[in-house]
Structure 1
Amino acid sequence: MKAFNIEDTAMILIDHQVGTNTWASTTPLELLQRNVIILAKFAKGTGMPTVLTSSQETNVNVQGPLMPELQEILPEEFAARIKRQGVVNAWDDENFANACRNTGKKNFVMAGVTTDVCMVAPAISALEEGFNVKVVCDACGSTNQIAEEMSWRRMERAGIGLTSTNAIVAELVKNWASTAGAIAFPLLT
């Protein structure tokens, strides 16, 4: 899979909700949230278009709102987030799919919680529509390790690149001495 560049890539963050995040026991909660924040700050700092979506935010006792840090980092994207009302495959929600398409980018860096339910289907759907997709595995997580590993296998077999937060940021930066590097380096240390 070809390396992604900032200029042709959008950041897609799916269902990083205060309740849903706690279901992702395969990635420690603090690490998962840290990585989502890094991805959001990097996208904001480099001007990458970002799409946010949530599922049933009003189900406060289970799923709840998106992480409040996302509202602080990406206030416009947060206000424009796609609030799905139960559609499991986010790509099946026409508002979400159109928001991703409307970024004008051919490459998507995607992360979502939970990997097995919230991430696999939209990543494969975007790929099948012709987008290049890389999933940031340490900004995702599932309820158990078997579900997580099966999700990785499904996505890899479909042709999705699997990566980590630090790896995708480094791939996009290309040069630590660049403007993007100056944005990224403090986030990763």
Structure 2
Amino acid sequence: MVVYHIPTINWLREIADLLIRAHDSALIVIDMQERLVPAMQAPARTIRNTRLLLKAAARTGVPALLTEQYPQGLGQTVPEIRKAAGDNAILPKMHFSCMEDQGFAGAFRSLGRRQAILTGMEAHICVVQTAASLVEEGFDVFVVSDATASRTIESEQACLARLSAGGVSVVTTEMVIFEWLGRAGSDAFREMLPMIK
């Protein structure tokens, strides 16, 4: 005998809460800096996907914040990301968790968004600690797995497993972009589609 699960209203609400909404989102790009990027696993993939996310964010009205960990030692944000960031703020920090830095935390809270979309490096240090701080404060957190990197694949995988077990949604670049777009046929969809293919 086959038993079918009939969704309850609460279950449907939980599924709806999983969707990434452009009007609820802020994109956070963590520490994609000159002296960090070359040491990462798949740096070209991480840069390419973060650039796509920055372009999609600009096209769909999603604000972005970028950070630099100790820029005097680790250098500035790599040129490809800095150019894609446009006028979005790039904030220096010393804490591993962005939310422990008063400048960043104030800038993020002032956006009034409840969903934080995280990319950057290193996954198992600054990304995971920022995600944990945001979850503690009650934000919905999404970490973009193919726009996030560590120096070793083991650290990257452990980070994503830990985040997922802790209630953070692990997503991909295309998931974020298509959820921001919401539908086909719009000007934003037509503009983004050639970049994604």
The alignment's TM-score, normalised by the length of structure 1, stands at 0.90
Deviation at 1:176, TM superposition (A): 2.3
Residue 61 (structure 2) pairs with residue 47 (structure 1): yes
Deviation at 1:154, TM superposition (A): 1.4
8 Å contact from structure 2 (residues 60, 180) kept in 1? no
**RMSD of aligned Cα (Å):** 1.4
Give runs of aligned pairs for residues 18-33 of structure 1, distance below 5 A.
18-25=34-41, 28-33=42-47
Residue 101 (structure 2) pairs with residue 66 (structure 1): no
8 Å contact from structure 1 (residues 11, 109) kept in 2? yes
Alignment partners' CA distance in 2, 1:37 and 1:123: 21
Unpaired stretches in structure 1, ≥5 consecutive residues? none
Residue 17 (structure 2) pairs with residue 9 (structure 1): no
The alignment's TM-score, normalised by the length of structure 2, stands at 0.86
8 Å contact from structure 2 (residues 60, 181) kept in 1? no
8 Å contact from structure 1 (residues 16, 113) kept in 2? yes
Match of 2:130 among 122, 128, 135: 122
Alignment partners' CA distance in 2, 1:75 and 1:180: 18
Alignment partners' CA distance in 1, 2:195 and 2:31: 22
Unpaired stretches in structure 2, ≥5 consecutive residues? 1-16
Give runs of aligned pairs for residues 160-175 of structure 1, distance below 5 A.
160-175=168-183
Deviation at 1:177, TM superposition (A): 1.1
For the pair shown, the structure with the greater C-alpha radius of gyration is 2
Alignment partners' CA distance in 2, 1:68 and 1:94: 26
Match of 2:147 in 1: 139
Letter in structure 2 aligned against 1:99: A
Alignment partners' CA distance in 1, 2:137 and 2:68: 22
Alignment partners' CA distance in 1, 2:96 and 2:62: 26
Q: How many pairs are equivalent? A: 181
Alignment partners' CA distance in 2, 1:29 and 1:73: 16
Deviation at 1:118, TM superposition (A): 1.5
Deviation at 1:52, TM superposition (A): 0.8
8 Å contact from structure 1 (residues 24, 140) kept in 2? no
Aligned-pair identity (%): 27
**1:56-90 deviation digits (Å, cap 9, x = unpaired):** 1121xxx211021233233321xx32111x32222
Q: Secondary structure at the match of 1:104?
A: coil
Give runs of aligned pairs for residues 106-117 of structure 1, distance below 5 A.
106-117=114-125
